[in-house]
A and B are shown apart, each in its own frame.
Chain A
Amino acid sequence: GAGVSQSPRYKVAKRGQDVALRCDPISGHVSLFWYQQALGQGPEFLTYFQNEAQLDKSGLPSDRFFAERPEGSVSTLKIQRTQQEDSAVYLCASSLSYGDTQYFGPGTRLTVL
């Protein structure tokens, strides 16, 4: 079956621009996660959804970061007024339910100039 998909795969933004990154989880997966992977580092947790409810956003680095999943399926991670330190690969993962194996998408590589 189809895996987790993310779009765009690559995004270049000028400092100060807003960006929106999309994640399509595996159909039927209740849990959805966003992670940020800086160059040379492992992914770091950003936020967690169970269906449409955002249960944990403790990993979001600043109030410029906002995530939503309004219908409990597709999710969007929005970054306002991008800064150079926001440059990273943003990974989305989904799991069938709480505690199940997380399946990752290919990521969106964001470069802020």
Chain B
Amino acid sequence: AQSVSQHNHHVILSEAASLELGCNYSYGGTVNLFWYVQYPGQHLQLLLKYFSGDPLVKGIKGFEAEFIKSKFSFNLRKPSVQWSDTAEYFCVANSNSGYALNFGKGTSLLVTP
């Protein structure tokens, strides 16, 4: 069955620490991968996406993710987090021939000053 799993449900970091959120997917065939973010009180918004090409994808606000096909992973990274990065982060996938997004359970990130 198609699934997306996120390694951590809650992460607490100090400002300026480096961030890596783990994500693994289970899909047959070609897959599209996304990270969505939900800031407190705001709606879900796209952080970055991977469809094909360069496996290192850069998104908004200094985030990047690397698609590693052999590991079925799409981890999110940021070298130095800010307090304003406090949010819920969702790893998301869909098949290349599909449209419905398949979300992981989310990781709640708290960045302390």
Residues of A within 8 A of B (CB): 3-4, 31, 33, 35, 40-45, 48, 56, 59, 91, 93, 98-99, 101-107
B77 at interface (Cβ–Cβ under 8 A)?
no
B45 at interface (Cβ–Cβ under 8 A)?
yes
A98 and B103 contacting across the interface, CB-CB below 8 Å: no
B43 and A41 contacting across the interface, CB-CB below 8 Å: no
A87: shortest Cβ distance to chain B, in Å?
Answer: 18
B105 and A41 contacting across the interface, CB-CB below 8 Å: yes
A45 and B49 contacting across the interface, CB-CB below 8 Å: no
B43 and A40 contacting across the interface, CB-CB below 8 Å: no
Q: How many A-B residue pairs have CB under 8 A?
A: 50
B106 and A42 contacting across the interface, CB-CB below 8 Å: yes
Query: Which 4 residue pairs across A and B have the least CB separation, nearest first?
Result: A42-B103, A45-B100, A104-B44, A106-B43
A63 to B46, CA, bound (A): 32
A8 to B84, CA, bound (A): 28
A110: shortest Cβ distance to chain B, in Å?
Answer: 16
A3 to B49, CA, bound (A): 20
A102 to B100, CA, bound (A): 10
Q: Which of B49, B92, B103 gathers the greatest number of chain A CB atoms within 10 Å? A: B103
A107 to B103, CA, bound (A): 16
Contact with B99, one of A3, A33, A42, A43 (Cβ below 8 angstroms): A33
The residues of B that contact A44 with a CB separation of less than 8 Å are: 103
B68 at interface (Cβ–Cβ under 8 A)?
no
B9: shortest Cβ distance to chain A, in Å?
Answer: 8
B103 and A43 contacting across the interface, CB-CB below 8 Å: yes
B14: shortest Cβ distance to chain A, in Å?
Answer: 25
A35-B101, A91-B44 are known; give 10 further A-B pairs, CB within 8 A: A4-B43, A33-B100, A42-B90, A42-B92, A43-B90, A44-B103, A93-B44, A103-B45, A103-B46, A105-B43
A56: shortest Cβ distance to chain B, in Å?
Answer: 7
The residues of B that contact A107 with a CB separation of less than 8 Å are: 43
Known: A41-B105, A42-B105. A104 touches B100 (CB 8 A): no
B100 and A59 contacting across the interface, CB-CB below 8 Å: yes
